[in-house]
């Protein structure tokens, strides 16, 4: 069994060396690199960018409704008249058919329909611009938090490996002392059990790290063909809390998500205007100028003899005298639908306000806990060093040493977890502040 443990130790060391070599040879990305990569390749960013382009096209189309349109229509061919029995056929009849029409048309008034459509397209473009910016911040937020989770897993693995090395050293000392009859079999078996437990934990943590890497690659849009050649450099936690975090209070007003909710409501309100527009009489004013020419091919009339130019201004009024209240109910339904969306926007605003308030409380608690955890870690290091020396001199029991080693590992783990938890909270803070992308790329 002792040889099996030693063999396992050698295998783990070999795995660590192999893994390290693989990471060095691979294409590695830091947190900043991943954020920049996601800004160009993340599927959600691409969709948001495409939506913005479509909104720009729709606005241009809506504005074109105010401009005159020109239409050209032509038709050419040949035909022959079929005569009934007893009638003569004119052999000089022109067999060619020709017609040309050119029209200039302008809608002078269409009951505000074009104006409402243009307002909707303009609001939709503004919404798409802010949504694109917000999606950039959102993807940066998700990448950063996932990257910190990945880095935390790597740090916890490092702590576990350090504990493994310390336990391995103690195990080898106990094994030698046990062979010489200076340590009990009970101490020897306990160390061996601890070694096996740590080996299992190391394997589990490596699998978790691999899973986190896959999540980051999918999120930032790494192609499947490149995923095996891509790895990541661990990010350090936020060492120093920026002073502005402690003195600046976040608020909902001016928040990008609140602005999106307001624009969404403004777009929905136009549906009421459209319904009201159809409730009253529909008045249209249309002007057009037409040039028409026909029968100018073959040996028919001369081209200049068949010119026709006409112009017209048409005023149209359409009013439904009775529709069993359909249009009136459409206005009522649009109004009630807007009220529902207004209430949903209020709920979302209150939830956003609650998130911001909770974040402020969590930040203060995490900052204080991180300081206390660092002090505890220093004390545990001193305690372990004293007990390790006492155990070698036979002044401390195995249980005391093992408990001190576990306390040290727990203190390191708690400090590491708190550091990265605080970093993720700071990511949320700068996201709500609207400066996450620039802050992470600057640091």
Q: For each of the domains in the chain, give its residue range(s) and CATH number, in order of start.
A: 2-73+95-442 (1.20.1600.10)
For residues 406 and 416, is the Cβ–Cβ distance under 8 A? Answer: no
What CA–CA distance (Å, rounded) separates 35 from 441?
8
10 Å CB burial of residue 361 (0-12, 13-18, 19+) is exposed
10 Å CB burial of residue 384 (0-12, 13-18, 19+) is buried
Cα angle: 431, vertex 434, 438; to 5 degrees: 85
What CA–CA distance (Å, rounded) separates 385 from 145?
35
For residues 106 and 68, is the Cβ–Cβ distance under 8 A? Answer: yes
What CA–CA distance (Å, rounded) separates 342 from 337?
9
- Rounded to two decimals, the pTM is 0.74
Q: Give the per-residue pLDDT at 243.
A: 77
Chain length of the chain: 443
Question: Whose structure tokens read 């910016």?
Answer: 133
Cα angle: 390, vertex 396, 399; to 5 degrees: 130
φ and ψ at 351, to 5 degrees? -65, -40
- Nearest CA among 72, 103, 76 for reference residue 296: 76
Distances (CA, A) of 194 to 166, 215, 330, 338, 380: 11, 32, 73, 64, 20
What CA–CA distance (Å, rounded) separates 142 from 428?
10
Q: Give the per-residue pLDDT at 162.
A: 76
Structure tokens at 287: 């002007």
Q: How crowded is residue 212: how many other Cβ atoms within 10 Å of its Cβ?
A: 18
Q: Give the per-residue pLDDT at 180.
A: 67
Q: Give the per-residue pLDDT at 97.
A: 78
SS3 (DSSP) at 314: strand
Contacts of 212 (CB under 8 A, 6+ apart): 146, 149, 150, 153
For the chain, residues with pLDDT lower than 50 are 1-26
* DSSP secondary structure, 154-189, as one string: HHHHHHHHHHHHHHHHHHHHHHHHHHTTSS-HHHHH
């Amino acid at each position: 069994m002792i040889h099996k443990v030693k063999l396992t130790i050698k295998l783990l060391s070999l795995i660590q060396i192999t893994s390290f070599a693989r990471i060095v040879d691979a294409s590695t990305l830091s947190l900043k690199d991943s954020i920049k990569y996601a800004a160009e390749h993340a599927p959600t960013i691409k969709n948001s960018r495409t939506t913005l382009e479509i909104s720009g096209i729709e606005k241009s189309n809506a504005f074109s409704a105010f401009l005159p349109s020109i239409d050209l229509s032509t038709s050419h061919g040949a035909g022959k008249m079929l005569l009934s029995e007893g009638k003569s056929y004119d052999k000089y009849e022109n067999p060619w058919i020709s017609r040309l029409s050119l029209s200039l048309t302008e809608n002078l008034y269409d009951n505000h329909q074009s104006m409402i459509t243009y307002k909707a397209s303009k609001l939709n473009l503004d919404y798409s611009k802010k949504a694109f910016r917000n999606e950039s911040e959102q993807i940066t937020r998700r990448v950063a938090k996932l990257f910190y989770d990945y880095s935390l897993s790597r740090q916890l693995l490092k702590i576990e490996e350090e504990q493994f090395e310390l336990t391995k050293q103690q195990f080898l000392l106990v094994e030698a002392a046990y062979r010489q009859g200076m340590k009990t079999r009970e101490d020897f078996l306990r160390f061996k059990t601890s070694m096996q437990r740590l080996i299992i934990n190391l394997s589990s943590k490596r699998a978790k790290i691999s899973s986190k890497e896959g999540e980051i690659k999918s999120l930032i849009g790494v192609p499947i063909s490149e995923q095996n050649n891509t790895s990541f450099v661990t990010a350090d936690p936020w060492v120093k809390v920026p002073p502005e975090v402690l003195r600046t209070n976040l608020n909902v007003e001016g928040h990008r998500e609140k602005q999106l909710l307001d624009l969404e409501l403004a777009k929905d309100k136009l549906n009421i205007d459209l319904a009201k527009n159809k409730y009253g009489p529909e008045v249209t004013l249309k002007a057009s100028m037409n040039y028409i020419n026909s029968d100018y091919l073959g040996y028919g009339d001369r081209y200049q003899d068949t010119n026709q130019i006409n112009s017209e201004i048409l005023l149209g009024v359409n009013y439904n005298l009775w529709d069993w209240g359909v249009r009136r109910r459409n206005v009522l339904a649009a109004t009630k639908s807007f009220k529902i969306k207004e209430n949903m926007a209020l709920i979302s605003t209150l939830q956003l306000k609650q998130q911001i308030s909770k974040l402020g409380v969590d930040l203060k608690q995490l900052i204080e806990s991180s300081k206390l955890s660092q002090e505890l870690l220093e004390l545990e290091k001193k305690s372990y060093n004293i007990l390790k020396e006492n155990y070698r001199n036979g002044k401390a029991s195995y249980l005391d040493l093992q408990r001190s080693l576990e306390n040290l590992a727990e203190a390191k783990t708690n400090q590491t977890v708190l550091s990265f938890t605080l970093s993720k909270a700071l990511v949320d803070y700068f996201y709500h502040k609207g400066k996450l992308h620039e802050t992470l790329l600057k640091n």
